[in-house]
Chains A and B, each alone.
Chain A
């Protein structure tokens, strides 16, 4: 369970990224956050594990309030899946997955790369679970395709059996088929562990398909909160309208062609 209470975030330049956000996401829910670019989706996700400090308000995860002191232990219970996969590309797939265990492995063991057999077995099992063949195990992560890299990212996120999974536009750079596969993986793996998922997306169809609940954000505020069924086309229009088109010049193409027939010199 994640609870946002009157969360607001003001960047040093004065922009208000989050304005008084109040949401409660019950345990085990797959909650999708939708909204135009710059609406504050990523910022909201990043406040949960403290990557972004809030200006105001309180976040609690499974009843534990997030403070600088509790952040260290809370972060172990909160996994994150990133838009750009964020793997160490020059490191092997196995090392990238095992890196998900770093908070619970001693520094000495981590530096020597001595992971317990149980840990290595878990890495193998998770890689198999996300559909990555074991022949990739010792390949460099940078040699994998985008979809395969995100599979590694998902495996890494589930290494510590998180209670909360934050997915920050996990499929933004992947094709529709692989996007569905990755989102299914995240949803199913989270269900097996009864983990809460907070996932920001850009694709409305995927949001309707995978979300138990859709939260629409705009200008740092929550403007829609409901089930996929309630998120009708009119609601979609209301969420995105104005934001996408307001900067476009209103020039009719036909006018351009007509002008070409009588070329005018514009004063230099």
Chain B
């Protein structure tokens, strides 16, 4: 075998080149500058104080120091939130049409003795008066209330998503550069999408509550308008980025824009559209719990009410419910996505 080695370096090879270096002295300078800015803003956003307080909290937990503001605050909240409220108690006397022989599911009537202190005006001494009070106790009464409110929240989210999908389909058509009629419609659609996306749900809901009053209407509209900005952008960009080859084949025979879109683009983008829509549904459920805070219906309205009445045990129940719903929805959408794509 007379295999000759490959000559290194071959004649005429120049080695006066290098691959692009990712970092240079310039980048180090930028890094220093960024660090300086972070130090400045870190003080303004009290990040230094946060570190001190957290350190105190950790020290308190391991027994190094006695006093920690953070631990004290958290334990106070924790104590008032635990245990979460599951049941309800109502005075029987206040219920007008209660059938004693046919109580609601799981409900029982309990008798409590109520002790009240009175000042006797004649003797100027405190006197105790005992009174027997009958209470209708529903052990899962509050869980049921939260369930109903949660259902309303999910309904708001679903309708908001539906609203946004319906609104974003025409927006996406006009906002896709290669299907919009002209530059004006394109710019108009893109502008609308940016405007919708730039308005936070909470602020929109605040204004819509003024217009439509408290309740789910404001919630559905606020969620729908904001999400339409997202979906319109995503849908339009998928149309623009879809494989051009089938579209060209249909254009070549003169199929027309709508039919080309339906047969050349839609089959390519539908799996992505489903993924986007599921994400928006997930996001809307989470946002629907929040926009209730400004009175736009659902669990958030209940949460705000209980919070304002310092009933933290009820707040705890609501937070647990929100967590369970978000978790279940995550599982559900992951499965649906895997099945459809």
Contact B10 A259 (CB under 8 A): yes
Within 8 A of A (CB), among B1-19: 4-16
> Within the assembled complex, what's the spacing in Å between the Cα atoms of A211 and B115?
109
B258 proximal to A (CB < 8 A): yes
Smallest distance from the beta carbon of A122 to chain B beta carbons, Å?
A: 15
Distance in angstroms from B340 CB to nearest chain A CB is 12
Task: Known A110-B259, A260-B7, A268-B15; judge A90-B253 contact (CB<8 A).
Answer: no
Asked if A27 lies at the interface with its beta carbon under 8 angstroms from chain B, I say no
Beta-carbon nearest neighbor of B11 in chain A: A259
- B248 lies within 8 A of chain A by Cβ: yes
A255 within 8 A of B: yes
Interface contact A86-B9, CB-CB below 8 Å: no
Contact between B253 and A76, CB atoms less than 8 A apart: yes
> Is B252 in the interface zone, CB < 8 Å from A?
yes
Tell me whether A110 and B248 are in contact (CB under 8 A): no
Question: Judging by beta carbons under 8 Å apart, are A49 and B10 in contact?
Answer: no
Q: Are the C-beta atoms of B262 and A266 separated by less than 8 Å?
A: no
Bound complex: CA of A189 vs CA of B134, how far in Å?
92
Best-surrounded residue of B10, B16, B249, B255 (most CB of chain A within 10 A): B249
Q: Is B251 an interface residue (CB 8 A)?
A: yes
Across the interface, which residues of A come within 8 angstroms of B15, CB to CB?
A: 266-268
Does A263 touch B at the CB level, under 8 Å? yes
B250: Cβ under 8 A from any A Cβ: yes
CB <8 Å contact, A86 and B258: no
* B9→A266 contact, CB < 8 A: yes
Contacts of A78 in B (CB 8 A): 252-253
Residue of B nearest to A160 (CB): B253
Is B246 part of the contact surface with A, judged by Cβ < 8 Å? yes
Q: Given A88-B246, A100-B253, are A266 and B264 also a contact pair (CB < 8 Å)?
A: no
Please tell me if A82 contacts chain B, counting CB pairs below 8 Å.
yes
Given A95-B263, A102-B259 in contact, is the A75-B253 Cβ separation under 8 Å? yes
Find out whether the CB atom of B9 lies under 8 angstroms from the CB atom of A265: yes
Write out, one digit per residue, whether chain A residues 72-100 have a CB within 8 A of any chain B CB (1) or not (0).
Answer: 11111011101011111111000100011
A102 to B263, CA, bound (A): 9
Q: Does A172 contact B (CB under 8 A)?
A: no
A72 in complex: contacting residue of B5, B246, B254, B262, CB < 8 Å:
B254
Indicate the size class of the contact surface on chain B.
35 or more
CB within 8 Å of A: which B255-275 residues: 255-256, 258-260, 262-264, 267-268, 270-271
Give B76-87 as 1s and 0s: 1 = Cβ < 8 Å from A's Cβ atoms.
000000000000
Give A255 to B11 CA distance when docked, in angstroms.
9
B130 within 8 A of A: no
* Interface membership of B112, Cβ < 8 A: no
Tell whether B245 is near chain A: CB-to-CB under 8 Å: yes
Indicate if the CB atoms of B262 and A88 lie closer than 8 Å: no
Q: Contacts A82-B245, A266-B9; is A260 near B252 (CB within 8 Å)? A: no
> How far, in angstroms, from A263 to B250 measured CA to CA in the complex?
60
Which of B16, B245, B263, B268 is within 8 Å of A110, CB to CB? Answer: B263
Name the residue among A73, A90, A257 with the largest chain B CB count within 10 angstroms: A90
- Report chain A residues within 8 Å CB of B268: 88-90
Q: Select which of B11, B14, B243, B270 is within 8 A of A264 by beta carbon.
A: B11
Residues on B with C-beta less than 8 A from A128 are none
Q: Taking the nearest CB of chain A, how far is it from the CB of B219, in angstroms?
A: 33
Contact across chains for A80 and B254 when beta carbons are under 8 A apart:
no
Bound Cα distance A256, B7 (Å): 7
Q: A256-B11, A260-B5, A263-B8 are in contact. Are A79 and B253 (CB under 8 A)?
A: yes
Let me know if B6 and A88 touch, CB within 8 A. no
Q: Which residue of chain A is the closest to B16 with respect to CB atoms? A: A268
A107 close to B (CB within 8 Å): yes
Within 8 A of B (CB), among A179-237: none
A255 vs B246: C-alpha distance when bound (angstroms)? 50
A110 and B262 in contact (CB under 8 A), knowing A256-B11, A260-B6?
yes
Min Cβ gap B261→A in Å is 10
- B329 to A: closest C-beta gap in Å: 27
Q: B263 contacts A257, CB within 8 Å?
A: no
When A99-B263, A260-B5 are in contact, do A51 and B248 touch as well, CB less than 8 Å?
Answer: yes
A87–B253 touching, CB < 8 Å: no
Choose one: B249, B256, B258; the contact of A103 (CB below 8 Å). B256
Name the A residues within 8 Å of B8 (CB-CB).
260, 263
In contact, B263 and A86 (Cβ under 8 angstroms): no
**Cα A89 to Cα B7 with chains together (Å):** 48
- Assess A86 versus B254: contact at CB under 8 Å? Given A102-B259, A110-B259, A265-B9: no
Residues of A contacting B252 with CB < 8 Å? Answer: 49, 51, 75, 78, 80, 166
- Whether A71 sits at the interface, judged by CB under 8 Å, is yes
Q: Which residues of A are found within 8 Å of B11, using beta-carbon distances? A: 255-256, 259, 264
Chain A nearest CB, measured from B245 CB (Å): 4
**Cα distance A256–B246 in the bound complex, in angstroms:** 48
Residue in chain A with minimal CB distance to B268: A90
Contacts of B10 in A (CB 8 A): 256, 259
B107-147 CB contacts (< 8 Å) to partner A:
none
- Kindly list chain A residues whose C-beta atoms are within 8 Å of the C-beta of B245: 82, 84-86
The answer to whether A111 has its CB under 8 Å from any CB of chain B is yes
The 8 closest A-B pairs by CB, nearest first: A260-B7, A75-B254, A102-B255, A86-B249, A268-B15, A86-B245, A88-B246, A90-B267
For this complex, 5 residue pairs linking A to B, each with C-beta atoms less than 8 Å apart, are: A74-B254, A75-B254, A88-B268, A102-B256, A105-B259
- Other 6 A-B pairs with CB < 8 A, given A86-B248, A260-B6, A266-B15: A51-B252, A84-B245, A99-B249, A103-B256, A111-B262, A260-B5
